[in-house]
Amino acid sequence: MSGVRVLVGTRKGAFVLTSDERRAQWDVSGPHFAGWEMYHLKGSPVDPNRLYASQTSGWFGQTMQRSDDGGVTWTPVGNQFAYDGDPGTHQWYDGTQHPWEFARVWHLEPSPTDPDTVYAGVEDAALFRSTDAGQTWHELAALRDVSGHLWQPGAGGLCLHTIILDPADPGRIVVAISAAGAFRTDDGGTTWRPANRGLRSEYELPDPNADVGHCVHSIAMHPSRPNVLFMQKHWDVMRSDDAGDSWHEISGNLPSDFGFPIVVHAHEPDTVYVVPIKSDSEHFPPEGKLRVYRSRSGGNEWEALTNGLPQRDCYVNVLRDAMAVDRLDSCGVYVGTTGGQVYASADAGDTWLPIVRDLPAVLSVEVQTLS
Amino acid sequence: MIRVILPPHLQTLAGVGREVAITVASPATQGTVLDAIETTYPMLRGTIRDAATQRRRPLVRFFACEQDLSHDPPDAPLPEAVAAGREPFLIVGAMAGG
């Protein structure tokens, strides 16, 4: 019998939610790592029992965890993220140069082919890879050669939060960094280039069309069509049909084109989901209504999905890694909020139910589809 | 033998109880105690002091004999009562409320 396992990272621990293919009854396990900030947990696509987790604390720093039994037990693994060579400097808030300093792991991306290989996006922004199941980490340092000295932290820190691994081309990786932009390698990380042409940041950058500096919030790709990328930028929802070489806006009729996460339907590569947020200074849904918006046309035409979501007095946020889809026949969509709710839809967003209502603020939601 | 009391989060991470015992060469210092802790419990590397700089993490404190030793140099000898095992060396998560 098939089912799903939802991995939820929160400000005060991790939770594992499981259900069968009906997704009506849920078993909640946790908190795991109680009291720690769990930025991200993600399972290996080739071994669903292999999970990786980023565990961090303002007191005790960064720790990494691995599970080999689907989250029942966990083992601490390597937590040394040393920048390659001389770490160099990036731009600081006051315009001076500031040394690169490791703070935490924001995002984990396990390899689609090897359960022992996993990528980590970190703050201060850099990309690391482990090929020994998380025991040791090595930086793909050429990324920071792409005008890294010009990168400046945004309000959330200089974080590398998005890692897209092309399933058809192992050499191609797209990453995104807050307040720096999107970057792509076609040779496995030896060389990188900005992938920001077409992005416009009129009120955030002195040159709205700059090569780097755009505040990309999230990027999504459907594995069957790796050249098509969807982006939620600070403001603007964008699409690329050439793997990030160029972008065009698809915000269309959204009530606000500010937001954080963006995901693609598991079986319909042109069906995309976003969660509009009122503005960069008011991080809650417009009009106090939590609405997921769905486009079935690859952007521009969006419909509000509201059935089962709070439609009054709702002032939560949905963070960049807190929306995900499963791969069951009727695609499930999952949204976690800073109010501690995780909403699930078993019918591609038409109707929603809360799986849990009272968790700590949700930082990330990932879904494993189990057979 | 040096008695070391760990904060709750690090007890969980290391899978140990509140107090652990370690042996270090004389004279015992913060540095030799932390070296021994990290050797015995490698999962604690980087959680008490920065792995690269070896500096105490900003929100970690070291107490012993009702004194705050957090700002002592890492190679300063620990109080004799700690070195003799009569008093514990406390690793504490700093008060950081609001």
Residue contact A80–B96, C-beta within 8 A: no
Residue of chain A with shortest Cα separation from B46: A61
- Test mutation, B40, B41, B45, B49, chain A, max A CBs within 10 A: B45
Indicate the range of A8-22, A50-64, A202-216 predicted with least confidence.
A202-216
B35: its two tokens: 């070296």
d(CA A4, CA A199): 36
Model confidence at B97, in pLDDT bands (50, 70, 90)?
A: low
Answer whether residue A105 is part of any domain.
yes
- Predicted model pTM: 0.95
The reported pLDDT for the residue numbered A87 is 86
pLDDT over 70 at A1, yes or no? no
Answer whether residue A333 is part of any domain.
no
In A, which residues are within 8 Å of B62 by CB distance?
none
CATH of residue A100's domain is 2.130.10.10
Answer whether residue A149 is part of any domain.
yes
Residue contact A36–B9, C-beta within 8 A: yes
Torsion of CA B52, B57, B61, B62, to 10 degrees: 0
Q: How many domains, chain A?
A: 1
Answer whether residue B98 is part of any domain.
no
Answer whether residue A358 is part of any domain.
no
Please state the rounded mean pLDDT for residues A159-176: 97
Residue contact B46–A76, C-beta within 8 A: no
pLDDT digits (tens, 9 = 90+) for A258-295: 999 999 999 999 999 999 999 999 999 999 999 999 99
The reported pLDDT for the residue numbered A204 is 87
Percent of chain A scored above 90 by pLDDT? 94
Percent of chain A scored above 70 by pLDDT? 100
Domain hosting B37: range is 2-93
Answer whether residue A336 is part of any domain.
no
Domain hosting A112: range is 29-322
Where are the extended beta strands (E) located within A33-96? 37-43, 51-57, 61-67, 75-77, 89-91
Answer whether residue A365 is part of any domain.
no
On whether the CB atoms of residues B43 and B13 are closer than 8 A, the answer is yes
In A, which residues are within 8 Å of B91 by CB distance?
none
Q: How many domains, chain B?
A: 1
- Test mutation, A59, A79, A81, chain B, max B CBs within 10 A: A59
Please state the rounded mean pLDDT for residues A49-70: 97
Nearest to A219 by CA among A290, A323, A296: A323
With residue B14 as reference, give the H or E element that holds it. helix B8-14
Please state the rounded mean pLDDT for residues A197-225: 94
The reported pLDDT for the residue numbered B52 is 85
First vs last C-alpha separation in chain A: 6
The reported pLDDT for the residue numbered B4 is 98
Nearest to A148 by CA among A170, A129, A127: A127
CATH of residue B57's domain is 3.10.20.30
Residue contact B13–A63, C-beta within 8 A: yes
B61 Cβ contact partners less than 8 Å away, ≥ 6 residues apart: B68, B70, B90, B91, B92, B93, B94
Model confidence at A86, in pLDDT bands (50, 70, 90)?
A: confident
Burial of A124 (0-12, 13-18, 19+ CB in 10 A): buried
Model confidence at B5, in pLDDT bands (50, 70, 90)?
A: very high
Q: What is the mean pLDDT of chain A?
A: 96
Residue A94, preceding bond cis, omega within 30 degrees?
A: no
- What are the DSSP calls for B29-68, one per residue? BHHHHHHHHHHH-GGGTTTSB-TTT-PBPTTEEEEETTEE
Of A34, A35, A62, the CB nearest to B46: A62
The reported pLDDT for the residue numbered A371 is 86
A280: its two tokens: 């960069």
| Chain A residues interacting with chain B (CB cutoff of 8 angstroms) | 33-36, 57-63, 76, 79-80, 82
Our CA-based measurement puts residue A147 at a distance from the nearest CA of chain B, in whole angstroms, of: 25
pLDDT digits (tens, 9 = 90+) for B9-29: 999 999 999 999 999 999 999
Residue contact B10–A60, C-beta within 8 A: yes
Burial of B51 (0-12, 13-18, 19+ CB in 10 A): middle
pLDDT over 90 at A349, yes or no? yes
The reported pLDDT for the residue numbered A154 is 85
pLDDT over 80 at A132, yes or no? yes
The reported pLDDT for the residue numbered A94 is 87
Of B9, B51, B52, the CB nearest to A60: B9
pLDDT over 70 at B98, yes or no? no
Answer whether residue B12 is part of any domain.
yes
In A, which residues are within 8 Å of B13 by CB distance?
60, 63, 76
d(CA A315, CA A249): 27
In B, which residues are within 8 Å of A85 by CB distance?
none
Answer whether residue B82 is part of any domain.
yes
The reported pLDDT for the residue numbered A325 is 98
In B, which residues are within 8 Å of A80 by CB distance?
45-46, 51
The residues pairing with A8 across neighbouring beta strands, listed in sequence order, are A15, A365
Q: What is the mean pLDDT of chain B?
A: 95
ipTM: 0.92
Our CA-based measurement puts residue A85 at a distance from the nearest CA of chain B, in whole angstroms, of: 13
Answer whether residue A98 is part of any domain.
yes
